[in-house]
């Protein structure tokens, strides 16, 4: 059943206060709820409407009087009381069995402890409630549970009472002073320990900060705590937003569907985004922790204090909060070049994941118009493209203008549930700008294509840049209207320096923000004394595909000189992509194509340029991934792409051997491990050098990798060495893998890495994955573990997954169905691996379609998986 944005109606009743009582027991939890409700004057509907899923109703009383079947009606997920007075108190008692809940949605048990996940619609499987984000209420929560098994009882807000119940049980009472929608409710009843400290807020108040983990993990909480303190400081300084509670808690749980959840005052996190020390976590893990801790903390204002009217508005909080966490991570590095590296990584994510989504069967606008299952719309489009849309306001309005818009947004909408349009209105009104056309970024799906062409008129000393935009059709949207696109442009002279720009007679600095609003526009730069090389879409100023007929010479010029690091990197990516595509075509038709010296020389120049950050050099030398190459092809041949890319890596490894070895030595990070950006950048470059060297391995290189594996003092270097050993099938590879497991078999997150490395290794075929599934440490029930092996194979090992015999697809179908029986949200993510099936070579296409049909025809499917496979088959 499809739900449409246009069908929104206000809730019939509002809830002032909620009192919840939990008697927690894994098999039989009693939930008692008292709701003070009033009729909503803005509603035309009549009775009371409560959501409820899989609940056993024990009693229902209205204003003290017990209701009987007939007084109310339960159908599907809805309980209706057709006639009710304007003011009512409902008392509801229900029963659930959390231990049977394998969906990790609602109230569930993980490793013997109780946790909740309510976004988007999990609260309705805990108790009957108007479970929609525009119903905001004040919550008081009483938790009762066995004291020995569950010594820690947590919920949102402030602890106002706790004590013993005398019968081996104890209680804790929590009160959240802010009204909130039900999706922000959380409880934890568990055997946990915490790292805590008090932190002085800007206004002088002290807040208690806690990071809760299982016993044995207190050696891994420092970085999460530090990131939390940095986040609080940053939001005070950059946006003037303060923590509004006396206590802020982070709780880590190993069974979790997503990354983390911003429940008011009680953030619940996947362990992956909390636990770190140098022994078990990589630089990438550390960066992930900083970003996700920041993200969830920033939601306290962008999401919790101002929330969404309905779930179509999800990007209102997610796009904005991703933008905020991106800016936070960039500011934590502090340098312009470090900031640029974070931007490059964001662009890579967009191209790797969001552009394909926008071009595939699940394409949807940042603010979708319809969905079957909202959990399917926690996507890279809503999150990352949503963040790009927010970033474009800042590009158009400037940092100060953006801040003014934010201030007005909170002034107008604090403690309200609002729409994306309200955010846009605040940005427009605070800056006196017309942002009407900008709305199309929210309503139109698809990645716009901006085609640029330049004409230099030497006589007039003018350069004319013509920008033309179009957007391909997406499901349900055959025709698109022009977008409002900020295009940042600079012009390079032959010296490589930026020209000073004059546009329409006005000085425009060295980077001009052109506003493309028409299907086609020409911008005239004057006072141009030599033919320039244009650097277009600097800092990736809009989430579009840019087409410009660059020559290799121009790209090499930009790759050597562009003052904008993102476009400098981009020039290298274009050079590499061009060659990857040619080599893939050659391999596909049984030929071989050598990599040209021009390209190798360009790579060498960047590699040895010590004036550039190591992190930038690493990014500049990294080839586009196999799936990015696939996106550029009309008919994808995964094995040819793999062979071509491997051949290119092999050539780089041999041609630049001397320089790679020198950089390997020059970028060592001796001494105590630190996850800071400079050290991480050095490790990144050093380990990329090792990876290239290992692409053309000999005994010396294998020894180098082996030595790094044996002596590494941190997980980053450990994993990099292990990957190199495995990918080059070095003699010590199998032994290293075994030792790695033996050393870390008690560290679940490291065991995940152990599975993930094998899943993505070029030598791992379907049969090998099936073998790994028999390993005692493997289970489908834990999402991190399922992702580490199955997702990493289906999404991260294309040449094997797309085996010509279709065995990868059969495996995929089996796993989607097996997962769906346990956990629809996770299953549905795996189902997305088939999104791009129509682009593969005919023989593969037929088999992929067959696998999709097999899943779709297999009867009892969740809404989640059903929506994904049926859209794949019809769009
Ligand atoms: N709001 C969370 C975050 O982005 C994500 C929760 C997603 N949950 C879900 N069931 N889809 O921080
Ligand atoms: Zn979020």
With 0-12 CB in 10 A as exposed, 13-18 as middle and 19+ as buried, what is 753?
buried
Structure tokens at 820: 């769906």
Cα gap 194→215, rounded to integer Å: 9
Q: Is 626 a catalytic residue?
A: no
Cα gap 262→304, rounded to integer Å: 8
Tell whether ligand 1 has an atom less than 6 A from the beta carbon of residue 302: no
Tell whether ligand 1 has an atom less than 6 A from the beta carbon of residue 318: yes
Alpha carbon 15 to its chain's center: 33
pLDDT, tens digit, 9 for 90 and up, residues 552-565: 999 999 999 999 99
| Tokens 């779709």 belong to residue | 856
377 alpha carbon, closest ligand: 1
Structure tokens at 768: 């090998």
Structure tokens at 451: 């085609």
Distance from the alpha carbon of residue 259 to the mean position of ligand 1, in angstroms = 7
Task: Spot the catalytic one: 296, 357, 618, 747.
Answer: 296
Cα gap 840→633, rounded to integer Å: 9
Supply the pLDDT for residue 329. 98
Asked whether 220 and 280 are in contact (CB, 8 A), the reply is yes
With H, G, I as helix, E, B as strand and everything else as coil, classify residue 417: strand
Residue 503: beta bridge partners? 506, 525
Residues, the chain, total?
A: 875
Nearest atom, ligand 1, residue 378 CA: 11
Distance from the alpha carbon of residue 129 to the mean position of ligand 1, in angstroms = 20
Structure tokens at 128: 């009957």
Q: In terms of Cα–Cα distance, which of 694, 594, 583, 691 is closest to 640?
A: 583
Structure tokens at 90: 């409902």
Q: In terms of Cα–Cα distance, which of 692, 693, 652, 685 is closest to 668?
A: 685
Asked whether 59 and 180 are in contact (CB, 8 A), the reply is no
Tell whether ligand 1 has an atom less than 6 A from the beta carbon of residue 260: yes
DSSP for residue 207: E
Structure tokens at 603: 């790579």
Supply the pLDDT for residue 219. 98
- Among protein residues, the one with the nearest Cα to ligand 1's atom 2 is 261
Asked whether 332 and 400 are in contact (CB, 8 A), the reply is no
- Which residue among 253, 258, 270 has the greatest number of ligand 1 atoms within 8 angstroms of its CB, and so is best to mutate? 258
Distance from the alpha carbon of residue 117 to the mean position of ligand 1, in angstroms = 9
Cα gap 653→227, rounded to integer Å: 38
Q: How high is the ipTM of this complex?
A: 0.98
Supply the pLDDT for residue 859. 85
Query: 498 to each of 93, 717, 721, how far by Cα in Å?
Result: 70, 39, 41
Which helix (H) or strand (E) segment holds residue 799: the answer is: helix 798-801
Supply the pLDDT for residue 24. 98
Tell whether ligand 1 has an atom less than 6 A from the beta carbon of residue 325: no
With 0-12 CB in 10 A as exposed, 13-18 as middle and 19+ as buried, what is 629?
buried
Would the CA dihedral through 231, 236, 240, 245 be positive or negative? positive
Cα gap 71→83, rounded to integer Å: 8
Alpha-helical segments (H) within 248-313: 283-298
Cα gap 270→106, rounded to integer Å: 15
Asked whether 864 and 375 are in contact (CB, 8 A), the reply is yes
Structure tokens at 818: 């097996």
Task: Chunk the chain into consecutive blocks of 10 residues (it has 875) and report each block's average pLDDT, rounded to whole numbers.
Answer: 97 98 98 98 94 98 97 97 97 98 98 99 98 98 98 98 98 98 99 98 98 98 99 98 98 98 99 98 98 99 98 99 98 96 98 98 98 98 99 98 99 98 99 98 99 98 98 98 99 98 96 98 97 98 98 98 98 98 96 94 98 98 98 97 98 98 98 98 98 98 98 98 97 98 98 98 98 98 98 98 98 98 98 98 97 95 98 97
Tell whether ligand 1 has an atom less than 6 A from the beta carbon of residue 285: no
């Amino acid at each position: 059943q499809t739900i449409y944005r246009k069908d929104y109606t206000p809730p019939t009743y509002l809830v002032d206060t909620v009192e919840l009582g939990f008697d927690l027991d894994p098999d039989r939890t009693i939930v008692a709820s008292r709701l003070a409700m009033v009729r909503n004057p803005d509603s035309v509907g009549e009775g009371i409407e409560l959501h409820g899923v899989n609940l056993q109703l024990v009693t229902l009383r209205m204003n003290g009087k017990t209701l009987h079947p007939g007084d109310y009606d339960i159908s599907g997920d809805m309980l209706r009381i057709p006639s009710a007075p304007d003011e009512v108190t409902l008392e509801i008692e229900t029963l659930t069995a959390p231990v049977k809940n394998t969906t990790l949605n609602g109230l569930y048990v993980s490793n013997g402890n109780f946790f909740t996940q309510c976004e988007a619609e999990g609260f309705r499987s805990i108790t009957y409630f108007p479970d929609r984000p525009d119903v905001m209420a004040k919550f008081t929560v009483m938790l009762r549970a066995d004291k020995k098994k569950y010594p820690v009882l947590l919920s949102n807000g402030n602890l106002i009472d706790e004590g013993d119940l005398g019968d081996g049980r104890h209680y804790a009472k929590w009160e959240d002073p802010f009204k909130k929608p039900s999706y922000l409710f959380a409880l934890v009843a568990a055997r946990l320990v915490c790292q805590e400290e008090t932190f002085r807020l800007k206004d002088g108040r002290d807040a208690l900060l806690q990071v809760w983990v299982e016993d044995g993990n207190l050696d891994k909480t420092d970085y999460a705590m530090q990131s939390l303190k940095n986040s609080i400081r940053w939001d005070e300084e950059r946006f003037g937003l303060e923590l509004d509670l006396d206590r802020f808690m982070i709780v880590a749980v190993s069974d979790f569907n997503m990354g983390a959840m911003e429940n008011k005052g009680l953030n619940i996190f996947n362990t992956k985004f909390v636990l770190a020390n140098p022994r078990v976590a990589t630089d990438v893990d550390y960066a992930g922790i900083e970003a996700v801790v920041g993200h969830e903390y920033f939601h306290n204002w962008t999401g919790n204090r101002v929330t969404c009217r309905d779930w179509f508005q999800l990007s209102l909080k997610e796009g904005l909060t991703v933008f905020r966490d991106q800016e936070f991570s960039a500011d934590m590095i502090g340098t312009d070049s470090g900031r640029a590296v974070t931007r490059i990584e964001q662009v890579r994510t967009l191209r790797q994941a969001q552009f394909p989504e926008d071009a595939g069967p699940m394409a949807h606008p940042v603010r979708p118009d319809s969905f079957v299952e909202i959990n399917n719309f926690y996507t890279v489009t809503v999150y990352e493209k949503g963040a790009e849309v927010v970033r474009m306001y800042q590009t158009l309005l400037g940092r100060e203008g953006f801040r003014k818009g934010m201030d007005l947004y909170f002034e107008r909408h604090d403690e309200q549930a609002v729409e994306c349009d309200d955010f846009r209105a605040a940005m427009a009104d605070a800056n006196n700008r017309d942002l009407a056309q900008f709305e199309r970024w929210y309503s139109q799906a698809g990645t716009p294509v901006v085609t640029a062409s330049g004409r230099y008129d030497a006589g007039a000393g003018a350069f004319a840049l013509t920008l033309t935009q179009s957007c391909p059709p997406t499901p349900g949207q055959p025709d698109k209207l022009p977008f409002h696109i900020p295009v940042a442009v600079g012009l390079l002279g032959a010296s490589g320096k930026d020209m000073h720009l004059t546009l329409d007679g006005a000085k425009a600095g060295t980077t001009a923000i052109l506003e493309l609003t028409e299907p086609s526009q020409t911008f005239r730069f004057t006072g141009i004394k030599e033919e320039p090389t244009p650097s277009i879409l600097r800092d990736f100023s809009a989430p579009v595909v840019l087409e410009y007929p660059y020559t290799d010479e121009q790209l090499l010029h930009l790759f050597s000189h562009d003052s904008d690091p993102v476009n400098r990197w981009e020039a290298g990516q274009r050079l590499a992509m061009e060659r990857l595509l040619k080599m893939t075509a050659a391999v596909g038709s049984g030929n071989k194509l050598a990599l040209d010296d021009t390209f190798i020389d360009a790579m060498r120049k960047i590699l040895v340029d010590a004036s550039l950050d190591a992190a930038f050099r690493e990014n500049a030398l990294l080839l586009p991934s196999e799936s990015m190459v696939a996106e550029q092809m009309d008919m994808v041949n995964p094995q040819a792409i793999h062979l071509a890319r491997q051949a290119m890596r092999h050539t780089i490894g041999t041609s630049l051997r001397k320089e790679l070895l020198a950089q390997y030595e020059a970028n060592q990070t001796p001494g105590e491990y630190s996850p800071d950006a400079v050290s991480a950048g050095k490790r990144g470059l050093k380990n990329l050098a090792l990876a290239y060297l290992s692409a053309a391995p000999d005994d010396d290189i294998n020894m180098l990798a082996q030595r790094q594996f044996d002596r590494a003092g941190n997980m980053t270097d450990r994993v990099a060495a292990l990957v190199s050993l495995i990918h080059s099938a070095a003699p010590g590879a199998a032994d290293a893998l075994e030792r790695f497991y033996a050393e870390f078999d008690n560290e679940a997150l490291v065991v995940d890495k152990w599975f993930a490395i094998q899943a993505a290794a070029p030598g791992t075929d379907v049969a090998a994955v099936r073998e790994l599934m028999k390993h005692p440490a493997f289970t489908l029930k834990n999402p991190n573990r399922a992702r580490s092996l199955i997702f990493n194979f289906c999404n991260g090992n294309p040449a094997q997954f797309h085996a010509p015999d279709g065995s990868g697809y059969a495996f995929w179908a089996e796993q989607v169905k097996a997962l769906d029986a346990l956990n629809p949200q996770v299953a549905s993510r795996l189902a997305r691996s088939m999104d791009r099936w129509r682009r593969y070579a005919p023989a593969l296409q037929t088999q992929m379609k067959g696998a999709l049909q097999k899943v779709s025809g297999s009867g009892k499917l969740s809404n989640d998986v059903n929506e994904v496979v049926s859209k794949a088959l019809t769009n």
